[in-house]
Structure 1
Amino acid sequence: MARVKYKLLLPFIVCSFASMGNEVSLTPVNTMAPTASDEEAIIRHWRQPEINREFWDISVLPQAFIDVKPAPRSDGLAVGELGVDGGKKANILALADELAKKQHGNFDSLLIHHKGKLLFESYYLRGRVDLSHPQSSVTKAYTGMLLGRAIQLGYLSMDDLGKPVAGFLNKLDASKFVDGAKQITLHQALTMTTGLRISDATRKSMMENPPLVKGQKEIQFLFENSAPITPESQSFYYDIGPQLIMQVLEAVIPGNIETFIETELLGQLNITNFHWKTAPSGLPESIWRSSLTSRDMIKMGILAANKGKWKDKQIINRDFMTRSTSKLITTGDEEIFGDGKDVSNQGYGYYWWSSDLQYKDKKYASVSAQGGGGIYIILIEELDLIIAITAHHVDHATQQIVAERILPAFIN
């Protein structure tokens, strides 16, 4: 049976929801997922001054692409059909209609993977199936996963997570460290509890003088110029941490760290359409400035949900991945990214956030990698659900949307 793509008759569908329950009327059209032009294909970050381009130079799609039966693309993702292999089609299409109309902000893509299959794929505005999208702070989760890969390959051990960062770096002068810096562990770097506090003026001097932070000088600079580290300062503080992890990786793995990223993490998932910028230290960025396609974000979500396993191969150490997606720290509900009335109990693991998403009287535990602009990989284990979202807006309620609109589509 030939595959058929569909375009929504949006006004009619809204009416049909009320009159026909979950039945949705669609009109077939001969269209494929939107792809990037040659000029757009080189735009993979929010700003790229080196080529005088920025994300906003990508043209806006003339209409949203919404697919309830995603195409197989020889990328390692199994595909299915929304409403046949799971999920309530009407619920998701109603949300897709609203996203297409920008009722929830500037979404670029929404993909839903359920029970082993990609069931829904949609692109809006500046989203493209073959264009790697800026990941912002989702990059932190990838940095942590690199460390988990190094542990799986034997370059580090789980016991090493409790050891000081400085012990892995042989070009540091500990005699110049502020009090407490010498004791900062990998675990503290992974949970954003290093206690390091850098003033704005000091941070500016780092940015304006790249030679100060080349190689391990970056860590020397941070450990010298932080305010003194105290038990009080070693609380959760969303700032310094991933840089320390990238430096340790550079020190312990054989060969080139860029090659390690390409072959030992992303390459294991057949991810080739990506970009990862270089930080002022000369190492790959660890906090932001990576880019992946939305389908490849789903793969990273599968890897995390499967405790580090892809297909039949353990890519990331299982214990490390389990710890990464666990709530190791309770961060409180005062500042929840993309929050709302049904989002609560926020916590943090190893660069993965956790929160409870409530529908009616039941709460569902979620884990997510989150990035500025509204970038998410969301895992909801109880429903076997993985959601990838790309966007480019500041104010949003994405987790609330998932709780209120996507959860009910997959709850029996």
Structure 2
Amino acid sequence: MSNGGQAAWLKIAPASIAQQSHSKAPVATAAEAELSFRDIPYLKKAFIDVTPADRKDGISVGELGVDGGNKVMVLELARDIADNNEDKFDSFHIVYRDKLLFESYYLRGRIDLPHFQASATKAYTSMALGRAIQLGYLTMADLDKPLISFLKELDSTKFVEGVELITLHKAMTMRGGLGITNEQREEFEKNPAVLKGQRMVQALLENSAPITKESQDFLYGNYNPRMVMQVIEAVVPSSAKDFIKNELLNKLGITDYGWRTEISDLPTAGWGSSITSRDMVKLGILAKNKGKWNGEQLVPEAFLAKATSRILLTGDDDVYGGGKDVSNQGYGYYWWNADLKYGNKSYYSTSAQGGGGQYIILIEELDLMIVVTAHNNDNRTLQIIAEQILPAFTKK
């Protein structure tokens, strides 16, 4: 499928790649920075860099093909993206052995423009909870306690039955068990003034169907992350908004970002953030390095091990971004995981995923990370990684 020629590949011979590396990555104009994402014009030319610039932003850089990876294979994929881009990629980055080796921007991608993250926000909420554990506001043992035990402003006499079955662990694996119809939600959201703070959780726990072990099956949505954000708000000394800013994002040097506020006046937990591709790389490095950033333990290693593990299998009937070489889809603490097959071998991957095609994909066995932004819900990103990136970083 053609993109109308609006993102023509920079056709470079191998000898001129180094010269291109000194060109400037696309930045947003002042006018573009004020536009909603859907109104940002497509780039006239794709930007493809195999020796990403050291921008003194905390990200180490290297050269594709010298520090790892098959340059020809990766550039072949870059050419295909730029010429066709059926998946509507806006950026595509590759980090190998802690070095950014490949940086590219297409369509609405800009190096300095925060890109909507959709449900990848859930993974960032998970990291915020982990940060609260690292600082002692929660413990790992608290993950198995009833979520309501941290929310002291609730009136338990009005709860439906079984609310105590909702632990942090259950909520973070999308198994809280809430049963709220759209009609119920629309009704109590008609009066937003009574949903501020913990009153949002009160409304959920009053209007839900009874919570049972049977109802606590995996169900993807935003109610569980909402309740987890309420716990963060309740246990940290500042607000959740300030805590995320000062204790997580600022620690990584992430200052150019957006994070919406929901009806409760708390940060949205299941969607609504926006950050740049390079800042996604930083969050990926934090996860890949088991919670450490510049030698400081920001998130407990034990927490991230659980967050990025396959706590439960969710099935292969509908794998987002998947294909024939993607299987065993599972879920951790707001992180997805799947096996990616190349040849006769499968590689475990874990990923933050957002609707439209936002991914932070970690493949620990290969010390490999791929960061993607896009705006197509029918993307094939995980399948593309299996088919065209794994061969570039493995020996068959």
Q: TM-score, normalised by structure 2?
A: 0.94
Which residue number corresponds to residue 184 of structure 1? 166
Which residue number corresponds to residue 291 of structure 2? 308
CA distance in 2: counterparts of 1:401 and 1:122, whole angstroms:
16
Which residue number corresponds to residue 55 of structure 2? 73
Q: How many residues align structurally?
A: 386
Which residue number corresponds to residue 179 of structure 2? 197
Runs of 4+ more than 6 Å apart: none
What code does the residue aligned with 2:277 have?
S
- Deviation of the 1:103 alpha carbon: 3.7
Picking from 367, 372, 379, the partner of 1:389 is 372
Moved more, 209-218 or 159-168: 209-218
Which residue number corresponds to residue 50 of structure 1? none
1:128 aligns with 2:106: no
What code does the residue aligned with 1:224 have?
E
CA contact (8 A) 1:8 1:27 kept: no
1:347 aligns with 2:362: no
CA contact (8 A) 1:9 1:25 kept: no
Which residue number corresponds to residue 16 of structure 1? none
Structure 1 unaligned regions, length at least 5 = 1-6, 14-22, 44-53
CA distance in 2: counterparts of 1:218 and 1:335, whole angstroms:
31
- Deviation of the 1:25 alpha carbon: 6.4
What secondary structure, in the 3-state scheme, does the structure 2 residue paired with 1:208 have?
coil
Picking from 355, 359, 362, the partner of 1:376 is 359
Which residue number corresponds to residue 253 of structure 1? 236
CA contact (8 A) 2:118 2:273 kept: yes
Picking from 189, 194, 198, the partner of 1:212 is 194
What secondary structure, in the 3-state scheme, does the structure 2 residue paired with 1:408 have?
helix
CA distance in 1: counterparts of 2:29 and 2:378, whole angstroms:
29
- Deviation of the 1:160 alpha carbon: 0.6
Summarize deviations over 1:99-126 as a string: whole Å, max 9, x none.
1123432110000000010000000000
Summarize deviations over 1:180-220 as a string: whole Å, max 9, x none.
11331111111110010210111222443322321101100
Which residue number corresponds to residue 27 of structure 2? 35
CA distance in 2: counterparts of 1:410 and 1:332, whole angstroms:
27
What secondary structure, in the 3-state scheme, does the structure 1 residue paired with 2:278 have?
helix
Which residue number corresponds to residue 86 of structure 2? 104
Q: How does 1:37-186 map to 2 (within 5 A)?
A: 37-43=29-35, 54-186=36-168
What code does the residue aligned with 2:326 have?
V
CA contact (8 A) 2:49 2:104 kept: yes
Moved more, 172-181 or 402-411: 172-181
Which residue number corresponds to residue 318 of structure 2? 335
CA distance in 2: counterparts of 1:215 and 1:137, whole angstroms:
22
Distance 1:229 1:125, change over 3 A: same
Instruction: Provide the alpha-carbon RMSD of the alignment.
Output: 1.6
- Deviation of the 1:137 alpha carbon: 0.3
What secondary structure, in the 3-state scheme, does the structure 1 residue paired with 2:95 have?
strand
CA distance in 1: counterparts of 2:373 and 2:364, whole angstroms:
21
Distance 1:206 1:408, change over 3 A: farther
Which residue number corresponds to residue 262 of structure 1? 245
What secondary structure, in the 3-state scheme, does the structure 1 residue paired with 2:370 have?
strand
Picking from 260, 268, 282, the partner of 1:285 is 268
CA distance in 1: counterparts of 2:201 and 2:318, whole angstroms:
29
CA distance in 2: counterparts of 1:342 and 1:402, whole angstroms:
10
- Deviation of the 1:9 alpha carbon: 5.6
CA contact (8 A) 1:9 1:26 kept: no
Identity %: 55
CA contact (8 A) 1:77 1:117 kept: yes
Summarize deviations over 1:136-189 as a string: whole Å, max 9, x none.
000000001101000000001011111111111111111111111133111111
CA contact (8 A) 1:379 1:386 kept: yes
What secondary structure, in the 3-state scheme, does the structure 2 residue paired with 1:131 have?
coil
Which residue number corresponds to residue 271 of structure 1? 254
CA distance in 2: counterparts of 1:404 and 1:172, whole angstroms:
50
What secondary structure, in the 3-state scheme, does the structure 1 residue paired with 2:28 have?
coil
What secondary structure, in the 3-state scheme, does the structure 2 residue paired with 1:241 have?
helix
Distance 1:191 1:317, change over 3 A: same
Distance 1:72 1:357, change over 3 A: same
CA distance in 1: counterparts of 2:34 and 2:238, whole angstroms:
28
Distance 1:269 1:366, change over 3 A: same
Summarize deviations over 1:250-309 as a string: whole Å, max 9, x none.
111002222211110011111111111101100011011101100110110111111111
What secondary structure, in the 3-state scheme, does the structure 2 residue paired with 1:322 have?
helix
Distance 1:8 1:243, change over 3 A: closer
Picking from 199, 204, 207, the partner of 1:225 is 207
